[in-house]
Amino acid sequence: MEFSSTLVGIIITVVMLVPVIFLIMNSSGTDSKVKKSVTKLSQSNGINLKTIDVIGNCVIGIDEVSKKLVYTSKRNPSADLKIVNMEDVKDCRVKSIKQTDKTLDWVGIELVEKTGRRQIPFYNEHDENELSNDPFVCLQDAKRWENTLRPLLKAS
């Protein structure tokens, strides 16, 4: 009786862990494929990304030598690829839209350029296709990227 109870417990644990492990492996595999794709697209434009991150549905990378920022969506990297020359950016700041004190609707980085403003979304509450991320984790990632980008801005 004791052996069969242990065996049933082990089987139930394995059945519950297999899907979780599969999801984790599948997600990390997708992120690495998207990073490779964005790196290749950037290299074809003469940009060698030193740092590249996947944050929510946004893939963002920076070439500190040429001062170029590259960002795109995770769903369609080649069509949504955007390149920003950081020498044309006047200011960079984290932007968030709060619903209440404890909930965020939108998190991203806002770049103020000579010709206008550009927003790079890291989290959007109303995007149905986006994988669920903690908005406050995305906010911390946005602050980290703001600190990475600020030294590259042209002093004016």
HSE-CB of 37 using CA atoms within 13 angstroms = 19
- Most confident range (mean pLDDT) of 4-8, 41-45, 122-126 is 41-45
66: left (phi over 0), alpha (psi -120 to 50) or beta: alpha
More confident residue, 126 or 115: 115
Average pLDDT over residues 65-94: 90
Percent of the chain with pLDDT over 70: 92
Q: How far apart are CA 109 and CA 112, in angstroms?
A: 10
pLDDT at 152 over 80: yes
What's this model's pTM, rounded to 2 decimal places? Answer: 0.77
Place 156 in a pLDDT band, splitting at 50, 70 and 90: very low
